[in-house]
């Protein structure tokens, strides 16, 4: 029996080079991996070589590859009813998944709107926050505030809420109504200050910025409890609690962007839980990647029940004037239910906390004082190795790939974020290989400068 043309590596490589547009990379890149399979925490290329995945795809393959229970749940749902638009109709997977999410969030954070991606989730959360104030008659509250080093997606509202020029330049004119706050990042940590008590731009600085804009004009603050794409920045303890208090004082809604961190990545089910007591949460919670484990596109915007009820007074519809054809796709929701069975059944948040602490400690030990490294930081299985330049970080990813380990560089920061099911010895072995790659990249860079 002949091999189908679409599985022949040369055919795939030609189709890739002639027709496929790859996001977030220079057009000059030509020689890419062709990935053909995966199992557990490993992926395989067209030549049969296996690689340890220390990036979980793009932080979304949280329960690993080839999980039979997830695939079977998707197949069964696709056979019954693959999807249906949720306007005026419901499906069992969407309803049950919304209830499942409510069982994991603080009391009152119990109503979920489904979208297709994290970027769509942020767009929806921004619109919901603004419309809540509009329906309530507070028409001046339209501005969205966010941290300057945060990342909130590639669609227009997400780009406007993101401070990095790399993601904004050339995309304008961007929509107005967005302002940036100082990122809660300890300057001593950023400078490699060693053991110290973290200090951070505090509420007073945020208050000054809000005063410039007018706190009565702020609809919401959107923030990542742990910044991911912005450099795996772990704000000092209590930061999210300070944000919660600030929002309460000024009547501002708090949106937690947990697209990258939700469902166990940082060692808690949600990263905001590191700062807030179990009964307290944000007003809106945006999740995506870990929700469906990479098995299907899916995102969720979970809001307080009282905010949901506000939309009953919308004068044009009496409901939310927003949605997508495949938001809450039945097969995607079936996948998410099976993924959450694994997350809870195998207690992946606790595993991430324990294994992440070991990996973080090992990387700090191996890379202590290394010239190409500025800082190693992280929480749970979301760890960043900040190097001296983006070029050094990219060189390290290349060396690591040659050694059989896949990581991703965002700017000058290598992001270590394997599937949460990774075994501890495998994680430590992969971290050791990565550390060697970082040191080798540093030596190569020094040699070129010499």
Q: What is the pLDDT of residue 1?
A: 38
Helix (H) / strand (E) containing 75: helix 68-81
| The model's pTM | 0.94
Question: Per-residue confidence of the chain (450 residues) as pLDDT tens digits?
Answer: 345 555 677 889 899 999 999 998 888 888 889 999 999 999 999 999 999 999 999 999 999 999 999 999 999 999 999 999 999 999 999 999 999 999 999 999 999 999 999 999 999 999 999 999 999 999 999 999 999 999 999 888 989 898 877 777 777 788 889 999 999 887 666 555 455 566 655 678 899 999 999 999 999 999 999 999 999 999 998 999 999 999 999 999 999 999 999 999 999 999 999 999 999 999 999 999 999 999 999 999 999 999 999 999 999 999 999 999 999 999 999 999 999 999 999 999 999 999 999 999 999 999 999 999 999 999 999 999 999 999 999 999 999 999 999 999 999 999 999 999 999 999 999 999 999 999 999 887 665 555
Phi/psi of residue 180, each to 5°?
Answer: -115, 140
Q: Tell me how far CA of residue 82 lies from CA of 78, 198, 299, 333, 334, in angstroms.
A: 4, 50, 17, 10, 10
Q: What is the pLDDT of residue 195?
A: 58
**CB burial readout 172-188, b (16+ within 10 A) else e:** eeeeebbbbbebbbbee
**Hey, how many other C-beta atoms are within 10 angstroms of the C-beta on 77?**
23
**What tokens does 188 get?**
């001593």
Q: What is the pLDDT of residue 419?
A: 98
State the Cα–Cα distance between residues 397 and 106, nearest whole angstrom. Answer: 39
Helix (H) / strand (E) containing 221: strand 218-223
State the Cα–Cα distance between residues 141 and 133, nearest whole angstrom. Answer: 6
State the Cα–Cα distance between residues 21 and 12, nearest whole angstrom. Answer: 14
Domains defined along the chain, listed by start: 5-66+347-449 (3.90.1150.10), 69-345 (3.40.640.10)
Q: What is the pLDDT of residue 106?
A: 97
Q: What is the pLDDT of residue 197?
A: 64
């Amino acid at each position: 029996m002949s091999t189908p043309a679409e599985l022949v590596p040369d055919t795939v490589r030609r189709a890739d080079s002639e027709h496929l547009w790859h996001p977030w990379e220079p057009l000059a890149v030509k020689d890419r991996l062709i990935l053909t399979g995966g199992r557990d925490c490993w992926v395989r290329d067209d030549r049969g070589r296996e690689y340890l995945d220390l990036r979980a795809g793009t932080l979304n393959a949280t329960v690993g590859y080839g999980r039979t229970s997830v695939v079977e749940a998707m197949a069964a749902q696709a056979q019954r009813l693959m999807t249906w638009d949720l306007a005026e109709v419901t499906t069992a997977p969407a309803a049950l998944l919304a209830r499942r999410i409510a069982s994991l969030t603080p009391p009152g954070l119990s109503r979920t709107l489904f979208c297709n991606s994290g970027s769509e989730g942020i767009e929806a959360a921004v619109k919901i926050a603004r419309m809540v104030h509009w329906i309530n008659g507070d028409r001046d509250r339209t501005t969205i505030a966010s941290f300057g080093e945060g990342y909130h997606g590639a669609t227009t509202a997400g780009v406007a809420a993101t401070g990095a020029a790399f993601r904004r330049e050339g995309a304008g004119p961007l929509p107005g109504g967005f302002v940036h706050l100082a990122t809660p990042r300890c300057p001593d940590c950023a400078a490699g200050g060693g053991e110290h008590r973290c200090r951070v731009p505090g509420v007073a600085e945020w208050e000054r910025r809000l005063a410039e804009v007018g706190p009565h004009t702020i609809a919401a603050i959107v923030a990542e409890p742990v910044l991911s794409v912005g450099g795996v920045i772990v704000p000092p303890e209590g930061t999210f609690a300070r944000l919660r208090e600030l929002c309460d004082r000024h009547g501002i809604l708090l949106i937690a962007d947990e697209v990258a961190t939700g469902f166990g990545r940082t060692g808690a089910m949600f990263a905001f839980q590191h700062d807030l007591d179990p009964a307290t949460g944000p007003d809106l919670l945006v999740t995506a990647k870990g929700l469906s484990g990479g098995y299907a596109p899916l995102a969720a915007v979970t809001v307080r029940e009282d905010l949901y009820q506000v939309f009953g007074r919308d004068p044009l519809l009496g409901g939310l004037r927003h949605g997508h054809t495949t938001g809450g796709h039945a097969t995607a929701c079936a996948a998410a239910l099976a993924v959450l069975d694994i997350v809870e059944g195998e207690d992946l948040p606790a595993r991430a906390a324990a294994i992440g602490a070991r990996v973080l400690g090992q990387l700090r030990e191996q890379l202590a004082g290394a010239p190409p490294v500025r800082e190693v930081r992280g929480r749970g299985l979301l760890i960043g190795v900040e190097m001296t330049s983006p070029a050094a970080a990219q060189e390290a990813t290349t060396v690591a790939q040659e050694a059989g380990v896949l990581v991703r560089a965002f700017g000058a920061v290598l992001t270590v974020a394997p599937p949460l099911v990774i075994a501890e010895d495998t994680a430590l072995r992969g971290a050791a290989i990565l550390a060697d790659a970082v040191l080798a990249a540093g030596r190569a860079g020094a040699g070129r400068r010499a």
